[in-house]
Amino acid sequence: MKFNDKLDGEVVVFKVSGKIMGGEETTLFHGRIHEYITQNKKNFIIDMRKVDWMNSVGLGMLISALTTVKNAEGRLVLADISKIESILTITRLISVFEHFETADEAMKAF
């Protein structure tokens, strides 16, 4: 997994790519979310357009991120989940995550 993040106004946009399977990148991802929250940035979009695959550790990463943001009274949404929609549906997490077709649509929701 690789990711980059940027602040777009008051919304943090994470662009994630590759296979989400845990490891060092997952730890870095969580660290970045915590950094933004300490800077009082609490609105997040995770753009999944370039994610190829995700295992249970990847699901755990997303759930942990959502929990962290909600505990900080923020909002986290997913964008372009087409490649991982089946795993979210099977695990019934599709109803837990607010999601949008594109990152642009997600941005408009803020």
Per-residue DSSP letters for 10-51? TEEEEEEEEEE--SHHHHHHHHHHHHHHHTT--EEEEEEEEE
| pLDDT at residue 23, rounded to an integer | 82
CATH number reported for the structural domain that contains residue 27 in this entry: 3.30.750.24
CB 63 within 8 Å of CB 92: no
Q: Would the pTM count as exceeding 0.85?
A: yes
What's the confidence (pLDDT) of residue 21? 85
Q: Mind listing the pLDDT tens digit of every residue in the chain (110 residues)?
A: 899 999 998 999 999 999 988 788 888 999 999 999 999 999 999 999 999 989 988 899 999 999 999 999 999 999 999 888 888 999 999 999 999 999 999 999 99
Name the residue range of residue 86's domain: 2-109
| Structural domain count, the chain | 1
